[in-house]
């Protein structure tokens, strides 16, 4: 079945450091790919998405490129801030019959220190 | 403001009791979902509904039940048959379609003792 694998955390960085969170997937067909962010005690918010190969999603300085050849969708940010501290989830759409079910990775905790 | 509301934010119950978690959305979305979140396990799908009066089991439906009598509402009942009910429960909704974003509520943390 379809699945998502994320790098384990926690990831601890100093402010202004470069961030990469790895995400790889296994899927039949051509799923859409998503990154969601969860701040402490809250629900998830969509950070960015890509719907086809070579698409780049971007938002708030975060970027991820849909790489079909390596089945990857790694999240990057050039300079992290303390306010980026959160849990990041990679997900793919398990689409079938008009329903967009999402399959999530286990999440990666990012802690940014001043 | 459009969005998804879940209530209550914290819920405490004794073992053996059924409990119902509320989820309401005013985004005019057809599809709604319930997820369970446990530490280190990501989110797992419990039930989902594409349209009023219709719903399907997700990956971990045992011990849970749902109803979808109104487009705006998708309550989840955690029954006494659920072996490990203590968790963080998240409701989401979306338009139907392959690339549709799911919007999440703030979650309900259920503790059963």
Gap between the Cα atoms of B103 and B95, Å rounded: 10
Contacts of residue A1, defined as CB under 8 A and 6 or more positions apart, other chains included, come to none
B34 near B48, Cβ under 8 Å?
yes
Per-residue pLDDT, averaged over B12-19, amounts to 92
Q: How confident is the model at residue A5 (pLDDT cuts 50, 70, 90)?
A: very high
**CA dihedral sign, ordered B56, A36, A72, A7:** negative
A81 near B30, Cβ under 8 Å?
no
Per-residue pLDDT, averaged over B80-89, amounts to 92
Per-residue pLDDT, averaged over A29-54, amounts to 92
pLDDT at A82: 97
pLDDT at A88: 97
CB atoms within 10 A of CB B112: 18
Of B40, B45, B104, the CB nearest to A101: B45
Helix ranges (H only) for A1-114 are none
Q: How confident is the model at residue B41 (pLDDT cuts 50, 70, 90)?
A: confident
B108 near B8, Cβ under 8 Å?
yes
Which residues on chain B place their C-beta less than 8 Å from a C-beta of chain A? 4, 6, 31, 33, 40-45, 48, 50, 56, 58, 90, 92, 94, 96-107
Gap between the Cα atoms of B73 and B66, Å rounded: 10
Q: How confident is the model at residue A94 (pLDDT cuts 50, 70, 90)?
A: confident
Gap between the Cα atoms of A94 and A46, Å rounded: 17
* Percentage of residues of chain B with pLDDT beyond 70: 99
Q: What is the nearest CA distance from B96 to chain A, expressed in angstroms?
A: 6
**Averaged confidence pLDDT in chain B:** 93
Q: How confident is the model at residue A29 (pLDDT cuts 50, 70, 90)?
A: confident
Per-residue pLDDT, averaged over B44-58, amounts to 94
Q: How confident is the model at residue A80 (pLDDT cuts 50, 70, 90)?
A: very high
Q: How confident is the model at residue A99 (pLDDT cuts 50, 70, 90)?
A: low
Is residue B97 predicted with pLDDT exceeding 90?
Answer: no
Gap between the Cα atoms of A5 and B57, Å rounded: 23
pLDDT at B98: 72
């Amino acid at each position: 079945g379809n699945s998502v694998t994320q790098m384990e955390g926690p990831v601890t960085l100093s402010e202004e450091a470069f961030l990469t969170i790895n995400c790889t997937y296994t899927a039949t067909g051509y799923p859409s790919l998503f990154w969601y962010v969860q701040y402490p005690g809250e629900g998830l918010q969509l950070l960015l998405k890509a719907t086809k190969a070579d698409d780049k999603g971007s938002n708030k300085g975060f970027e991820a490129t849909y790489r079909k050849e390596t089945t990857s969708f790694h999240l990057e940010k050039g300079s992290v801030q303390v306010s980026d501290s959160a849990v990041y989830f990679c997900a793919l759409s398990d689409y079938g019959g008009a329903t967009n079910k999402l399959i999530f990775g286990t999440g990666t905790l990012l802690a940014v220190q001043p | 403001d459009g969005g998804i509301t879940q209530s209550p934010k914290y819920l405490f119950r004794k073992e053996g009791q059924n409990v119902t978690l509320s989820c309401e959305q005013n985004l005019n979305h057809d599809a709604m979902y319930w997820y369970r979140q446990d530490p280190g396990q990501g989110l797992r799908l419990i039930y989902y509904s594409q349209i009023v009066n219709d719903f399907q089991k997700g990956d971990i439906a045992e011990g849970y039940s749902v109803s979808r009598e109104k487009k705006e509402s998708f309550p989840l009942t955690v029954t006494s048959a659920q072996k490990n009910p203590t968790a963080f429960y998240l409701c989401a909704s979306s338009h139907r379609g392959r690339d549709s974003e799911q919007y999440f509520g703030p979650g309900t943390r259920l503790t059963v003792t």
